[in-house]
Structure formats: structure tokens, C-alpha cells
């Protein structure tokens, strides 16, 4: 399981569980809150009606009083009240009045006249001077048949004379409960969805830098030249720089070890030749011709050592770099042409010709010195292995974002065993004309330069007769 998925799941559980628990708490509390609000309205209504019923109190038949007629007209009203998207058409209040003994003197339903309500909580508590209210089911098995009653004392000249109670069916509250319940869960679901989207964004944002750091470490592990990523998080940025420093230190130790080993191996041959020639020169009776030959050997091997060290230093400089330091816009047609011009003396010595075929304009962004050396090395390699009086073909063209240079000579193919090692440091094949090997650093240098410019170099035998080197680099 990825880190981003773990963060997202943790956020999902935290926010989702919190949202569900909060909504469940609100929904659970909602019926009680609505009933409390309804009870407050009933209390106000009961106290108001308790004052309005006083003029009818002394009438023998309250069912025929003006108060009773007013309540009857109220019951016959058509309300057409749109409350929270619910249309309320008719009133649903129940009103009854009892005397001090709890006997019903007036009721909106005349069949209850004369009944004893003294045991109902709303009446009993109010007659006792307390706040009286009750909720009663008309049908014990039907929850929707329950009524909420709130009572108020009837006073005349400050004396308690009876009780007026107002009731409302709790079923009338259910549509509001259902509507509020649905809206709460709907909006809660939207909030939860937005929270999940925020959690996904947060997980991606938190792990983006970590993924970039992991990608950098993996690419370095595969041997790619990549600079450390610039991360927005200070701690991760420090980790990236520390990783880069550690990699450079490890690479440096391995690099020095490898170079000391290979350089020691490569220097044995010329040093042995120099030492042997020096020992022979110490002999007093050595003929002048022999002495001159040994001095020439010392000079040749010294020059070989110098070339080896110079090229090794150039290669070491390129190999240690992870990116271009001073890139500039280069005209590759002019750069390749200049490299060809510098080889004219060498070409004339071996009776070779160079044909240069190129696009009219080839431009790329790179380091001029490195590309000049790379092109020069490819030309040197092609000249060394070309057959005398043959032609070397140089092609330069660009396709899309890539610039390709091919150098083709006519000569013996590269042996199969050497194809896989041709770009290794210090690996070289004997030159056809002299049988001597080069430093074995030229093609390694070309490979490193191509990689620094976002490309690669290949060397392969042609089907007919000859060898082709292809260097491809990014133009931008």
C-alpha cells in the first residue's frame, strides 16, 4: 500500500467517521429539539387562550359561548401555509377547559364534555401550581397517534378557577423531521465528499515531494546523471541534498579506486618500455643507431603516457558532472565542419576523403568544448580504422527535438567480442596500420558527453563493409 493511499485512508476514516458521528448526533437530537420548539409555541398559545376564555367562564354552557364559536371558526379555516416546502392546509390544535376538579367544561370534541381529566399530568400539575404538560397516545400501539398537551391556569381576579390545555398531534411534526433529516444527510454527504476530495489532494500534495525524492534515488541507482530535485518542504529538501552528498562521496571513493586500478594497469606497459630503454642506454658500448632508437622509444612512450593522462583527466571531468554547466546555443553545422577541417593533415597522410552531408541549419543547446571533443574523437576513430584511399561519410541532421550525427568509414568490421566493450574505459583495438592500441578513452568520452546532452552513442557494423558511429543528443 502506497504512502498516499495510507494518508487518504486515514483521512477518510477520520473525516468520514467524524462526519457520520456528528450527523447521527444531530439527527438523534433533532426530534427532541423540534418537539421542544413546538412545546414552547403550545405554552404561549395555552396562556393566551387561558386569558381569552375568561369572559366565557361564567356561562352555564361553554360549548355555546363566543369563545367556543371562535375556536370552531378557527378549526374551519383553510390555511394554505407553505412551511419548509410543506403545505399546511388545516389547523390541528385540540383545546379543552376543565374546572378545579378536573372535569371537562369545554372540548373541541364534544364527546369529552363532563369527563374527569384530573389524573392527566397537564391538568393535575397545573392545578397544583406547576407547569403541566403531557404526551399521550390515543392508540397505545400507534406511535403516530400521540398528542402533546400543554396546560395553562385560568385565573379570575388572581384566583385559580380552572385549566385550559392545548394539544397538537406529534404526527404533524414528522414531515418537518423527515425533511430536516434528509437535508442534513444530503448536505452531510456533500461535506463528506468535499472532505474526501480535499483528503485526496492533501495526500497527493504530501507525497509528491517524497515521490520525486524516491524517483531521484532510483534513477541515481540506475546510473543516470540527474541533479537532486528542488523540493518545497525544507526537511525533504535537506534529505535530498544529503542523499546527493552521500552519493557523491560513495561514487568518489569507487571512482578513485577504479581509476587507480585501471591507470596502474595501463601505465605498466609504457613505463616498462621506458625503463628497459633507459637501462640499455646506460651501456657504454651501445651503437649510435641503437642509442637513437631507444631514445625514440622513450620519447614515444612518454608521449603515450602524456596522452593517457590528458585524456583521463578530460574523461574524469566529464564523468563527475551530472548536468551541463554552461550550455549555449550552438551551430552544429559550423562545429562539425571546423572539426573536419582540423583533420585535413591526418586525412592527407592516409589518402582519405570526407564527405559531409547535413541539413541546412542544425542548432542545439549544449557545451561547445565537450561537443567539439566528442566529434573530434569520432572522426579520429573513423580515420584510424578506415582503409587507405577510402571515403568517410559524415551526416548531420535533426528530427524533432533530436540532433543526430553519423560517422561512417570503410574498413574491417568490429569483432563480435569487442562490440559490447567498445565504450569501456581503456578498452581499445589494435590500429590496422600500426598494430598499436590507443588510450581506449576516446569513445568513453563521447559516450559521457552524449549522456550529458540527454542522448546516447552507438557503434555498429554495416551489412556491407564498414563501421558506423551514431551520436544522438537533445536539441533543447
pLDDT of residue 67: 94
**CATH number of the CATH domain containing 113:** 3.30.450.20
pLDDT for 19-37, tens place per residue?
777 777 766 666 677 778 7
**Confidence category of residue 155, pLDDT binned at 50, 70, 90:** very high
pLDDT of residue 95: 95
The residue among 40 and 299 whose pLDDT is bigger is 40
pLDDT for 447-460, tens place per residue?
888 888 888 999 88
Q: Which pTM does this prediction carry?
A: 0.43
What grid cell was written down for 24? 447521527
User: Is the same domain home to 27 and 164?
Assistant: yes
User: Is the same domain home to 13 and 128?
Assistant: yes
User: Is the same domain home to 432 and 381?
Assistant: yes
3-state secondary structure 195-258: HHHHHHHHHHHHHHHHHHHHHHHHHHHCCCCCCCCCCCCHHHHHHHHHHHHHHHHHHHHHHHHH
pLDDT of residue 163: 97
For 335-346, what is the mean pLDDT? 87
- Cα–Cα dist 150/166, whole Å: 6
**Confidence category of residue 216, pLDDT binned at 50, 70, 90:** confident
The residue among 248 and 332 whose pLDDT is bigger is 332
Does 208 reside within a domain?
no
Helix (H, G, I), strand (E, B) or coil at 473: strand
User: Is the same domain home to 280 and 335?
Assistant: no
For 292-321, what is the mean pLDDT? 62
Does 206 reside within a domain?
no
Beta bridge partners of 159: 156
Q: What is the number of other CB atoms lying within 10 angstroms of the CB of residue 169?
A: 16
Lowest mean pLDDT among 274-283, 313-322, 355-364, 466-475: 313-322
**Confidence category of residue 43, pLDDT binned at 50, 70, 90:** very high
Does 402 reside within a domain?
yes
- Residue at grid coordinates 531521484: 216
User: Is the same domain home to 169 and 30?
Assistant: yes
Helix residue ranges, H only, 84-227: 121-127, 174-221
Query: pLDDT averaged over the chain?
Result: 79
Does 240 reside within a domain?
no
Whether the predicted pLDDT of 208 surpasses 90: no
Boundary of a domain, candidates 144, 161, 178: 178
Whether the predicted pLDDT of 411 surpasses 90: no
pLDDT of residue 48: 95
User: Is the same domain home to 392 and 468?
Assistant: yes
For 73-91, what is the mean pLDDT? 78
Whether the predicted pLDDT of 420 surpasses 60: yes
For 372-387, what is the mean pLDDT? 86
**CATH number of the CATH domain containing 267:** 1.10.287.130
User: Is the same domain home to 272 and 371?
Assistant: no
- Cα–Cα dist 234/60, whole Å: 91
pLDDT of residue 256: 46
Element (H, E) at 278: helix 234-281
Whether the predicted pLDDT of 333 surpasses 80: yes
Element (H, E) at 107: strand 104-107
Does 205 reside within a domain?
no
The residue among 121 and 424 whose pLDDT is bigger is 121
Does 123 reside within a domain?
yes
Boundary of a domain, candidates 287, 319, 351: 319
Q: What is the number of other CB atoms lying within 10 angstroms of the CB of residue 117?
A: 21
User: Is the same domain home to 389 and 440?
Assistant: yes
Boundary of a domain, candidates 156, 178, 200: 178
> What distances in angstroms separate CA 424 from CA 16, 300, 304, 441, one per listed residue?
59, 24, 19, 8
pLDDT of residue 133: 94
User: Is the same domain home to 166 and 306?
Assistant: no
Query: How many residues make up the chain in this entry?
Result: 476
Does 184 reside within a domain?
no
DSSP 393: E
What grid cell was written down for 392? 568517410
- Residue at grid coordinates 525533504: 236
Q: What is the number of other CB atoms lying within 10 angstroms of the CB of residue 136?
A: 14
Beta bridge partners of 106: 97
User: Is the same domain home to 110 and 140?
Assistant: yes
Neighbour-count burial of 292, counting CB atoms closer than 10 A to its CB (0-12 exposed, 13-18 middle, 19+ buried) = exposed
User: Is the same domain home to 394 and 302?
Assistant: no
The residue among 47 and 302 whose pLDDT is bigger is 47
pLDDT of residue 424: 78
Does 254 reside within a domain?
no
Residue 442 structural domain: 328-474
User: Is the same domain home to 361 and 292?
Assistant: no
- Could you give the number of structural domains in the chain? 3
- Cα–Cα dist 259/319, whole Å: 12
Amino acid at each position: 500500500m502506497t504512502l498516499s493511499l495510507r494518508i487518504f485512508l486515514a483521512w477518510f476514516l477520520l473525516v468520514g467517521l467524524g462526519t457520520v458521528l456528528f450527523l447521527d448526533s444531530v439527527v438523534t437530537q433533532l426530534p427532541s429539539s423540534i418537539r421542544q420548539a413546538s412545546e414552547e409555541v403550545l405554552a404561549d398559545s395555552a396562556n393566551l387562550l387561558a386569558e381569552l376564555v375568561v369572559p366565557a367562564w361564567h356561562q352555564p354552557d361553554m360549548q355555546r359561548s363566543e369563545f367556543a364559536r371562535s375556536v370552531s371558526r378557527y378549526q374551519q379555516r383553510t390555511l394554505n401555509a407553505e412551511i419548509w416546502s410543506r403545505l399546511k392546509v388545516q389547523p390541528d390544535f385540540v383545546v379543552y377547559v376543565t374546572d378545579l376538579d378536573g372535569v371537562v367544561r369545554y372540548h373541541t370534541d364534544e364527546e369529552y364534555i363532563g369527563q374527569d381529566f384530573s389524573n392527566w399530568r397537564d391538568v393535575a400539575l397545573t392545578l397544583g401550581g406547576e407547569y403541566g404538560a403531557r404526551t399521550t397516545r390515543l392508540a397505545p400501539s400507534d406511535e403516530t397517534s400521540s398528542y402533546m398537551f400543554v396546560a395553562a391556569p385560568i385565573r379570575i381576579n388572581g384566583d385559580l378557577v380552572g385549566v385550559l390545555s392545548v394539544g397538537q398531534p406529534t404526527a404533524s411534526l414528522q414531515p418537518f423531521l423527515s425533511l430536516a433529516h434528509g437535508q442534513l444527510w444530503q448536505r452531510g454527504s456533500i461535506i463528506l465528499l468535499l472532505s474526501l476530495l480535499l483528503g485526496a489532494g492533501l495526500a497527493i500534495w504530501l507525497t509528491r515531494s517524497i515521490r520525486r525524492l524516491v524517483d531521484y534515488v532510483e534513477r541515481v541507482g540506475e546510473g543516470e546523471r540527474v541533479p537532486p530535485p528542488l523540493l518545497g518542504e525544507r526537511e525533504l529538501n535537506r534529505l535530498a541534498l544529503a542523499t546527493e552528498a552521500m552519493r557523491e562521496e560513495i561514487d568518489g571513493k569507487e571512482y578513485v579506486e577504479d581509476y587507480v586500478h585501471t591507470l596502474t594497469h595501463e601505465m605498466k606497459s609504457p613505463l616498462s618500455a621506458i625503463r628497459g630503454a633507459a637501462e640499455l642506454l646506460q651501456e657504454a658500448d651501445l651503437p649510435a643507431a641503437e642509442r637513437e632508437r631507444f631514445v625514440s622509444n622513450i620519447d614515444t612512450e612518454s608521449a603515450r603516457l602524456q596522452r593517457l593522462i590528458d585524456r583521463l583527466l578530460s574523461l574524469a571531468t566529464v564523468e563527475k558532472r551530472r548536468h551541463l554547466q554552461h550550455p549555449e546555443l550552438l551551430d552544429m553545422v559550423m562545429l562539425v565542419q571546423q572539426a573536419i577541417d582540423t583533420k585535413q593533415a591526418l586525412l592527407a597522410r592516409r589518402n582519405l576523403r570526407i564527405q559531409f552531408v547535413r541539413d541546412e541549419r542544425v542548432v542545439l543547446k549544449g557545451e561547445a568544448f565537450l561537443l567539439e571533443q566528442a566529434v573530434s574523437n569520432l572522426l579520429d576513430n573513423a580515420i584510424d580504422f578506415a582503409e587507405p584511399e577510402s571515403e568517410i561519410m559524415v551526416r548531420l541532421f535533426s528530427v524533432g527535438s533530436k540532433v543526430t550525427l553519423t560517422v561512417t568509414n570503410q574498413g574491417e568490421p568490429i569483432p563480435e567480442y569487442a562490440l559490447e566493450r567498445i565504450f569501456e574505459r581503456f578498452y581499445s583495438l589494435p590500429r590496422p596500420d600500426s598494430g598499436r592500441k590507443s588510450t581506449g578513452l576516446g569513445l568513453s568520452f563521447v559516450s559521457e558527453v552524449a549522456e550529458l546532452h540527454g542522448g546516447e552513442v552507438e557503434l555498429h557494423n554495416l551489412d556491407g563493409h564498414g563501421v558506423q558511429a551514431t551520436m544522438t543528443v537533445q536539441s533543447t
